[in-house]
Structure 1
Amino acid sequence: MADRERGVRTFATVDRLDAAAVAAVIEAKAGRTISVCIPCRDEAATIGPLVSIIRRNLMEEQPVVDELIVLDDRSTDDTARVATSAGARVVSIDDVHREHGGGHGKGNALWATLVVSRGDFVVWCDGDVTSFEPDWVAKLVSPLLDDPTVALMKALYHRPTNYGGGGRTTELVARPLMSRYFPNLTGLAQPLSGEYAGRRTVLEQLAFVQGWGVEMGLLIDIERTWGADSIGQVDLGSRLHRHRSLHSLSVQAAEVMATMLDRAGVPAALASSEAEQVLERADGSVVPLNLSSRQPVASFDSGGRPS
């Protein structure tokens, strides 16, 4: 059941899915496949338990997940070794770049997982999550399995303030801009959440912003093409992850803002395209912004080359 009052649909669920509910998800797959993809950079401290839980609970004990991929985005620690030992298929971003050209950023890593995975449905999860529950996957994919009009499912969750809170970029940047330019998306509680699931036939038609604007870019593009009610959200409970400093979040905020304003058709104040690609700090330092995009996977020819 879903609430359609604000365009985006909120799907009801119980706190924990019992064995019968998980069995129903497996039956609903009806021969279709699910890939769980985890883009990582220097997540050796957290990736092992995350992969182990998915492997044991969702692949070995119950055939919910058909493919588990960790995308190693140039880690300098033991992320790849730890993930491999825990049971994931580890793919180096450099291997993807050799075939499809270079890139960088969160969106580039997400796009790379879409290229190397094969599931009919793709579930993404951040590699630094320490509160993962196995039923997150089932809750995210269930609406996609049951309703062909659902294109993307986002997580909504609670972030305990005694663990650093969260959602600052959402509340200070994304939500005000959604309210002004993309009101059909304002029903999303966590538009920038790292846990979400999508239908491959939809995802492969979309360009992926390479930087931090990737989530908002996907949401806006899906809403414009398939409508706001093709996007859903479901409550996954509490989420704990690494807390980032306000200083580091400013680049994320700038890239999210630029992506949203670009899609709203708001012209940049500076004429030089090079000048539009930076964040200028008060101390005079300049940080480049990653606003370029990866082309839709569906635009590749049969040999995996851009057509």
Structure 2
Amino acid sequence: MLARLLYPVANPHFHYDFCKGYYARVANGRLNGRVGRLLVFPLLKSLQKVYGNSDFLDYLRSYRYPLSGEFAMRSHILNNLRIPSDWGLEIGVLSEIHRNTATNRICQVDIADNYDHKHQPVSETIRAAVCNAWRRISPKRCIANWPFKAST
């Protein structure tokens, strides 16, 4: 897995400065990756509908799994990156790479045939956050048939 991630950046014949890893989120017959599937991708699509075409939104939507924490980069670009230290780490790093790196020097690579890690149950806090985010981006501040109720 590490070799797949580092190879595009370390190979002197390639000219990549940043490589983002992705992998299938399937385990025990279940499709995982709920936050990406249920929040990030729909949110990016909604933002694009509201604000129109945007190079930045196209860039974020081009990643197969933007929330994976696996990435490799050349050391020379680190000096210009403002790396977040909160829950926005993955999207924050991608934003900084977009700000500091030409898109032809960015790649993504499948780093595992099937990679499974610890899954956390959907807590009430996460349910409320997802519900509130959806309510804020929807035109009438509600989404029909939304299965979660935000706690007040």
Do these two structures clear the TM 0.5 threshold for a shared fold by scoring above it? yes
Amino acid at match of 1:174: V
The 5-angstrom pairing of residues 94-105 of structure 1 reads: none
Matching residue's letter, 2:19: M
1:191 CA drift (Å): 0.8
Compared CA separation, residues 208 and 161, structure 1 to 2 (3 A): same
Shift in Å, 1:154: 1.4
1:133-282 maps to which residues of 2 (within 5 A)? 136-146=1-11, 149-162=15-28, 164-179=30-45, 180=48, 182-236=57-111, 237-247=113-123, 250=126, 282=150
Deviations 1:33-69 (A, max 9, x none): xxxxxxxxxxxxxxxxxxxxxxxxxxxxxxxxxxxxx
Larger RCO, structures 1/2 (Cα 8 Å, 6+ apart): 2
Distance 2:78 2:29 in 1: 33
Larger Rg over CA atoms: 1
CA drift at 1:248: 6.8
> What is the one-letter code of the residue matched to 1:222?
I
Query: Number of aligned pairs?
Result: 123
- Give TM-score scaled by structure 1 length: 0.35
Identity of aligned residues (%): 30
Structure 1 unaligned spans of 5+: 1-135, 258-280, 285-307
Paired residue for 2:51? Answer: none
Task: Report deviation, 1:139.
Answer: 1.1
Task: Quote the offset at 1:143 in angstroms.
Answer: 0.9
Distance 1:166 1:220, change over 3 A: same
Q: Distance in 1 between matches of 2:67 and 2:15?
A: 22
| TM-score of the superposed pair, with normalisation by structure 2 | 0.66
Deviation at 1:163, TM superposition (A): 6.3
Distance 1:158 1:219 in 2: 20
User: Of Structure 1 and Structure 2, which has the larger fraction of its residues in strand?
Assistant: 1
Q: Give 1:184 shift.
A: 2.1
Displacement of 1:207 in angstroms is 1.1
CA contact (8 A) 2:83 2:96 kept: no
On the 8 A contact 1:159/1:240 being kept in 2, the answer is yes
Aligned in 2, Cα 1:174/1:227: closer, same or farther, shift over 3 Å? farther
How far did residue 215 of structure 1 move? 0.9
Match of 1:113 in 2: none
Letter in 1 for 2:3: A
Alignment RMSD = 2.7
Asked whether the 8 Å contact 1:223–1:230 carries over to 2, the reply is no
Supply the distance in 2 between the matched residues of 1:249 and 1:219 (Cα, whole angstroms): 25
Per-residue CA deviations over 1:64-116 (Å, capped at 9, x if unaligned) read xxxxxxxxxxxxxxxxxxxxxxxxxxxxxxxxxxxxxxxxxxxxxxxxxxxxx
Unaligned runs of 5+ residues in structure 2 are: 49-53, 134-148
Q: Where has structure 1 moved over 6 Å in runs of 4 or more?
A: none
Distance change (3 Å), C-alpha of 1:282 and 1:172: closer
SS of the residue corresponding to residue 209 of structure 1 reads coil
CA contact (8 A) 2:81 2:100 kept: no
